[in-house]
Amino acid sequence: MTGYSALSLARQALTGHRSWPAAWRAPEPRARYQVVIIGGGGHGLATAYYLAKTYGITDVAVLEKGWIGGGNTGRNTAIVRSNYLLTANSHFYEHSLKLWEGLSADLNFNVMFSQRGMVNIAHSNAEVSALHRRGNAMRLNGVDAELLSRDDLGRLMPGLDLSPQARFPILGGLIQKRGGTARHDAVAWGYARAADARGVDIIQNCEVTALRREGDRVTGVETTRGLISADKVAICVAGDSGRLAAMAGLRLPMESHVLQALVSEPVKPMLDVVAVSGALHVYINQSDKGELVMGGDIDGSNSYAQRGDPHTLDHVVESAVALFPAIRRLRMMRSWGGTVDMSMDGSPIITRLPVAGLYLNGGWCYGGFKGTPAAGTALAHLVATDQPHPVATRFTLERFDAGDLLDERGSGSSPWMH
């Protein structure tokens, strides 16, 4: 692998950028690997990278049915934060955020991680109290958090409607200054390039059609490009987790739903933080290209369609306009949907499955993108050692049997409510 640097950039510029080498190989799948990872999104690629880097396991293939980063990795709103209430989630996502802070240097690939600040907006006294509680919980867990007054919010976001006539008047907020955004495609590409450089085979257009088992042990996968044997198989397929689990005869505490997002036409810089209103169900930030990127809730009914209903987008846009009236005449350029893996308590699952050698990473709900580095770390640790990573000990399947849930939102076993 040729390292990327200012020098390499200058050298390539002299020759018109015509001789950059491919960032990763396109190998034919071999008949056998030590570890096969199903799913070439950020999570699968990160898992391969950390298996190679931290545990020295390089006999690894990442199988992707389409192109890498073409699923939820390329469909999210690119927000990174660790402002969680529950201790287990707080520790996990803070571990992730710390990895994000060094990720570009670690991967030698600019993931454009921008710690522009993550602001939660409160519209009622109850919400202000909830943000106090969340902020205190974060600080007790060693995560940065600062309460914001209305005046603070006005200084941070001049476009925010702080008037008492606002549809939902704003009372205060909470900021995590270390939160922000990253370039989501670059995360897939950076992990792919770094994993490939350590010997991992990234195999695109290779869909897994069945799992091979002998007794209670997995022995490989059948794919559209032939049979591939493996000692260990890790499932990292987000919304398709249920389909893969069904191949092993398992039912998961999970449902697949469609989560939509949209972007406006690009405008001059007007918003340099990530703004979230829980009451209005909207999150909004401005990309480096100037587009306003926004999203809201899932549509609510089980879906594998990767597209949703317009009324969900109406709600997102109405909420965004209620916060920032100046954007009301912006045109929306694109909308899209991704299939998210909504777990029954709103928290992820990184676990061994009852079939020996088979592992699952799923149940990410809205939070998969920001969890990418830590999910890769935790799953690599689990696959390499058969022990849960210290920051992911609670993300088991057994918690559902024991009633020991991680219900961050407190909405119970209705996945469409998380």
Residue ranges in contact with another protein by CB under 8 A: 240, 242-243, 246, 251-256, 299-305, 309, 311, 344, 400-401, 413-414, 416
Report the alpha-carbon angle 344-345-348, nearest 5.
Answer: 95
Closer residue to another protein (CB): 30 or 243: 243
Q: Is the CB of residue 382 less than 8 Å from the CB of residue 368?
A: no
CA distance 289 to 186: 15
Report DSSP state, residue 60. Answer: E
Which residues are within 8 A (CB) of 360 and not within 5 positions of it... i.e. 6 or more apart?
234, 235, 241, 244, 245, 252, 349, 350, 351, 352, 353, 397
In angstroms, give the least distance from the CB of 311 to another protein: 4
Closer residue to another protein (CB): 129 or 301: 301
Task: Look at residue 287 and give its three-state secondary structure.
Answer: coil
Closer residue to another protein (CB): 209 or 301: 301
Closer residue to another protein (CB): 231 or 297: 297
Closer residue to another protein (CB): 148 or 340: 340
Q: Is 102 exposed, middle or buried (0-12, 13-18, 19+ CB in 10 A)?
A: exposed
In angstroms, give the least distance from the CB of 102 to another protein: 36
Widest pairwise Cα distance in the chain: 67
In angstroms, give the least distance from the CB of 304 to another protein: 4
CA distance 165 to 305: 39
Closer residue to another protein (CB): 64 or 299: 299
DSSP string, 292-335: EEEEEEEEEEE--SS---HHHHHHHHHHHHHH-GGGTTPPEEEE
201: phi then psi, degrees, rounded to nearest 5:
-90, 125
Q: Radius of gyration of the chain from Cα atoms?
A: 21
| Structure tokens that stand for 183 in this block | 């370039």
Closer residue to another protein (CB): 119 or 252: 252
In angstroms, give the least distance from the CB of 218 to another protein: 21
Closer residue to another protein (CB): 45 or 235: 235
Q: Is the CB of residue 228 less than 8 Å from the CB of residue 30?
A: yes
Closer residue to another protein (CB): 175 or 258: 258
Q: Is the CB of residue 321 less than 8 Å from the CB of residue 262?
A: no
In angstroms, give the least distance from the CB of 160 to another protein: 27
Interior/surface letters 63-84, b for 16+ CB within 10 angstroms, e for the rest:
bbbeebbbbbbbbbbbbbbbbb
Number of Cβ within 10 Å of residue 290's Cβ equals 14
Closer residue to another protein (CB): 13 or 402: 402
